[in-house]
Amino acid sequence: MNSLEKHLHEKFKYQSFRFPQKEIIEKTIARESLLALMPTGAGKSLTYQFAATLCQGNEMVLVVSPLIALMQDQTKNALAYGIEATFINSSLSAEQKESRMRQIGEGKYTLVFVAPERFRKPEFWNCLAARRVKLFVVDEAHCISLWGHDFRPDYSKLEGYRSRLGSPPLLALTATATPDVQGDIAKQFGLNLASDLILGGLERPNLSLRVLETYGDSEKNEKLLELILAHANESGIIYFSLIQTLEAAARFLYKNKVHFQKYHGDLPPDQRRRNQNDFISGKVPWILATPAFGLGIDKSNIRAVIHYEIPASIEAYYQEVGRAGRDGLPATGYFLYDEDDLTIQMQFLNWAYPEPEFIEKVYDLIASRADVVSQGGFEYLREQMVFKNKKDFRVNAAVSILTRWGCLEETVTPFGFKAVLAPTPENFKLEDQNVLKKEHQKKLLSLLRYIQNNKECRLQQVYFYFGLKKKEDCGACDVCVSLK
């Protein structure tokens, strides 16, 4: 047995590598930087966990990840392999952060997870001073690109941070990057795609993708119930764009005695976590969720992902549907499409990119009326900012933009955020809402073309979008089945 396999077996108890884990690990051991694309659930984490088990002396692996909600699970997974792992983010108390950073400085921990905003803190740099970063991992690397579907302005500073750390080898990981986005990642990190790109194949041949046209809410609900019943004793996720729609469907399913949990931003964080755990452990078979649910969720036997409303892009869709069938067994993605849903996405898109003045005003309210806002939360802000339209989400969008910029931090009030830093002209320049909006419109259009194209295999359409080579038709999607 090759020594890498031996190490895999001893430390991780796996029989063999999944493609292309070994190729990635070999490159990182050779101290080469790379971008690796691997589908959701394919095992990206193992590639940096492996590196962490090879650390010697004061070496450590630093993982930058956009979502603090995931870090705890990622840390737990690594700890289970005996890796000394930890995370530092705003969910910790000041004392916890301080003590973890002190320990990092003292040489403890070989695997550390942080959000990109962490590098803004001098204390963090101080604790890194005594350590050698052996591998600089950028998880969800598509977040660096304006053309990615989940842009994070702080990601564009990562290359600068890496060079400040003495330019350790880079491992950029993502499950979804169109050729445009790959090019952008390469450019920003100084990679050469000809030699530094490993394509793990985004192919998911065990997924059958189906678009089901429906007319009106009651027909959609009936269809939903039918699908749930067809998957009796199995597990699935139902995705929504709007909390409102999610709650309405929840009432319908409740009446029909479906056993489920909910996951969305209006639920308190501990409740969200409990609901998520109930689903992961198998205690409840179904979960109704907004897109925030599932990034990095590790549950292999999800048999169905149902889209009740249309997602924002093919990237988002494929990530979400990709949570089904991680065990490699057949799984189905059902896309319930009603023409009217498009209007919702269009409107959503209009609200999602508020003007600079609007963002500034929201910040000022949160900063200057901290007491009222901390109790009254979004409700209060909406009253102050928006007069007519109840469906206007600009306040929510502004809060999430300000959080992304580090202007707000999460905290434990009913509102959940506090003001820490006023937005700067640089923030507005780095993230021009109008540019983002145009990109988003293009992506929505691509998704619409996908929905309407009932001549080509669904999987082939997705593969084409991501620039993958043509494969055999899947034989199982609605198009393949109808052409048989």
List residues near ligand ADP by CB under 6 A: 14, 17-18, 21, 38, 40-46, 298
Residue 42, contacted partner among Mg ion, ligand ADP, none, CB below 5-8 A by kind: ligand ADP
Nearer to Mg ion, 170 or 310 (CB): 170
**Cα 154 off chain centre by:** 15
The window from 42-50, 299-307, 365-373, 375-383 that contacts Mg ion (CB under 5 A) reads 42-50
**Amino acid making up residue 127:** C
44 binds Mg ion (CB under 5 A): yes
- CB under 5 to 8 A by kind: which of ligand ADP, Mg ion, none does 298 bind? ligand ADP
How far, in whole angstroms, is CA 73 from its chain's centroid? 14
Could you tell me the smallest distance in angstroms from the CB atom of residue 73 to Mg ion?
10
Which CB atom, from 44 or from 440, has the smaller least distance to ligand ADP? 44
**8-state DSSP, 32:** -
**DSSP conformation letters of 348-381:** HHHHHS--HHHHHHHHHHHHHTHHHHHHHHHHHH
Please list, in sequence order, all residues whose beta carbon lies within 8 angstroms of the beta carbon of residue 263, skipping any fewer than 6 positions away. 272, 275, 276, 279, 287, 288, 289, 290, 292, 293
* Per-residue tokens: 63: 């993982």
Q: Are the beta carbons of 47 and 173 closer than 8 angstroms?
A: yes
Q: Are 395 and 386 in contact (CB under 8 A)?
A: yes
Encoded one letter per residue, x for contact with Mg ion by CB under 5 A and - for no contact, window 337-366 reads ------------------------------
Interface with Mg ion includes 39 (CB under 5 A)?
Answer: no
- Of 39, 296, 322, 423, which lies in the binding site for Mg ion, with binding defined by CB under 5 A? 296
Between residues 41 and 325, which has the closer beta carbon with respect to ligand ADP?
Answer: 41
Min dist CB 199 to ligand ADP, Å, is 14
Q: By C-beta, is 38 or 141 nearer to ligand ADP?
A: 38
Q: Does residue number 326 form part of the binding site for Mg ion (CB under 5 A)?
A: no
Out of Mg ion, ligand ADP, none, what residue 40 binds, judged by CB under 5 to 8 A for its kind, is: ligand ADP
13: region left, alpha or beta (phi > 0 left; psi from -120 to 50 alpha)? left
Q: Which secondary-structure segment (H or E) carries 272?
A: helix 269-280
Q: For ligand ADP, give the closer residue by CB, 14 or 215.
A: 14
Residues that bind Mg ion (CB under 5 A): 44, 296
